[in-house]
């Protein structure tokens, strides 16, 4: 990812984090909101954010839409690159209106950034981007294996990501 684009995304996220801090929503840190099916919602993010997230997040093995693969023992393992939706979402009923406002402002700024860099605006659920990323990874591995076939007769191993 273009380093300037990366910095611009981080700047937008910092403003969002500051606005959320000012609003002060309550959080019990149960981690339920990252278990999407259990909580009954879907995490949407922009292509721009997905590229930033997947460039920095740890390897993942699941693309199940029911959960976020970056949640481990109720904690986020992709905290620094986590998308806008993760930063603004809190279940505190007193925060919902302000949370919506912060979210809309953040999306406007991300969209303006995509326009500025001539990037198409695409907004989709997390698991859609995870699947595409995994397919791209596997196809790159296959292309590389075709060009450099293993010299031994040991099976070729693809370390990550793995199918569920």
| Residues in touch with ligand SF4 (CB under 6 A) | 34, 43, 68, 70-71, 76, 78, 82, 86
In the bound complex, what is the minimum distance in angstroms from residue 151's beta carbon to ligand SF4?
Answer: 40
Cβ proximity to ligand SF4, 21 vs 157, nearer residue: 21
In contact, 43 and 85? CB cutoff 8 Å = yes
Cβ-based nearer residue to ligand SF4, 8 or 78: 78
Angle formed at CA 65 by CA 59 and CA 29, multiple of 5 degrees: 75
What minimum distance in Å lies between the beta carbon of 8 and ligand SF4?
20
Opening angle at CA 49, ends 100 and 57, nearest 5: 115
Question: Closest distance between ligand SF4 and the C-beta of residue 91, in Å?
Answer: 13
List CB contacts of 47: < 8 A, sequence separation 6 or more: 114, 119, 120, 121, 122, 123, 124, 129
| For ligand SF4, the closer CB: 19 or 57 | 57
Minimum Å gap between C-beta 89 and ligand SF4 is 8
Residue 71 or 105 with smaller CB distance to ligand SF4: 71
Answer whether 92's CB lies under 8 Å from 26's CB: yes
Of the pair 75, 158, the CB lying nearest ligand SF4 is at: 75
Q: Which residue has the tokens 């997905």?
A: 50
Q: How many CB atoms lie within 10 A of CB 156?
A: 11
Kindly state the smallest distance separating residue 5's Cβ from ligand SF4, in Å: 20
């Amino acid at each position: 990812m273009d380093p300037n684009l990366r910095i611009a995304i981080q700047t937008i996220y910092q403003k969002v984090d500051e606005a959320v801090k000012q609003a002060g929503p309550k959080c019990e840190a149960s981690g339920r909101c990252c278990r999407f099916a259990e909580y009954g919602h879907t995490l949407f993010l922009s292509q721009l954010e997905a590229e930033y997230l997947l460039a920095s997040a740890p390897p993942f093995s699941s693309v199940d839409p029911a959960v976020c693969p970056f949640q481990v023992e109720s904690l986020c393992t992709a905290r620094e690159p986590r998308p806008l939706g993760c930063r603004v979402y809190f279940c505190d009923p007193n925060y919902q209106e302000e949370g919506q406002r912060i979210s809309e402002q953040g999306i406007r700024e991300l969209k303006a950034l995509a326009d500025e860099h001539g990037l198409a605006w695409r907004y989709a659920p997390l698991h859609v981007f995870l699947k595409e990323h995994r397919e791209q990874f596997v196809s790159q591995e296959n292309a590389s294996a075709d060009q450099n076939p293993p010299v031994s007769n040991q099976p070729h191993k693809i370390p990550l990501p793995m199918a569920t």
